[in-house]
Amino acid sequence: MQDLLAGRNIGGDGEVVLAIRMTARQQWGVESISMSQWLDCITQWCRTSGHSAEVEKQCRSIAQRVGRYESRFRADGLIPPEGFVTSMLAYDYGRAVNMARWGFLAEYCGSVVAEQCILRASTLARAKYVSWQEFSASYILGRVIRLDDDGYNSYYQRVFDGHRILTGHPDSPWRHMQF
């Protein structure tokens, strides 16, 4: 649970490459940067930070995967045409909520402990994201980066279908509950 709440399940490389892109956007005062600019920034960051060529290769690979998934997300309407995902931590936070629920149902913890874990995940999510849509895109990206091999298979489709229902159905809690 502590690893999930600390964002250690999804892996730091993904968050690092997304942070590098955000930093470059902010420093340059632009809304978006190209993939080649992003890869150049990753290379510069790795070399400046003293990381090995293997770490650089891994970070560049993650950025390219993120770029492919974001293109798919745009095509599917998950993010706006010029949109991008800023973090994958929602995947860990969502998993933490599930673990708390499962732990309670399996009687590994009581309701108070499970509720505290869920409230902590909620607090972290609200500090990081501004909407259900942003949280969902982050969750989906974290899930597919962790589990999918660029196949857009059931790991993507099932969670995307859930996103469409939760953002589109008139009775959805996401349409009636403030994030």
pLDDT per residue as tens digits for the range 162-174:
999 999 999 999 9
Q: Percentage of the chain with pLDDT > 70?
A: 100
Cα separation, 118 vs 20, whole angstroms: 29
Helix (H) or strand (E) holding 177: none
Residues 74, 77, 79, 83, CA torsion sign = positive
Q: What is the enclosing helix (H) or strand (E) of 158?
A: helix 154-168
Note the pLDDT tens digit of each residue in 27-49: 999 988 999 999 999 999 999 99
Residue 2, classified by CB atoms within 10 Å of its CB into exposed (0-12), middle (13-18) or buried (19+), is exposed
Measured torsion, CA atoms of residues 152, 131, 80, 167, in degrees rounded to the nearest 10: 60
Is-above-0.75 flag for pTM?
yes
C-alpha triplet 94, 98, 101: angle, nearest 5°: 140
Amino acid type, 94: G
Burial of 151 (0-12, 13-18, 19+ CB in 10 A): exposed
Query: Which among 6, 40, 10 has a CA at the least distance from the CA of 23?
Result: 40
SS3 29: coil
Q: Where are the beta strands (DSSP E) in the chain?
A: none
Picking from 137, 132, 41, the residue whose alpha carbon sits closest to that of residue 85 is 137
Domain residues of the chain, as ranges? 2-176
> What are the pLDDT digits (tens) for 97-148?
999 999 999 999 999 999 999 999 999 999 999 999 999 999 999 999 988 7
Give the separation between CA 76 and CA 59, rounded to whole angstroms. 25
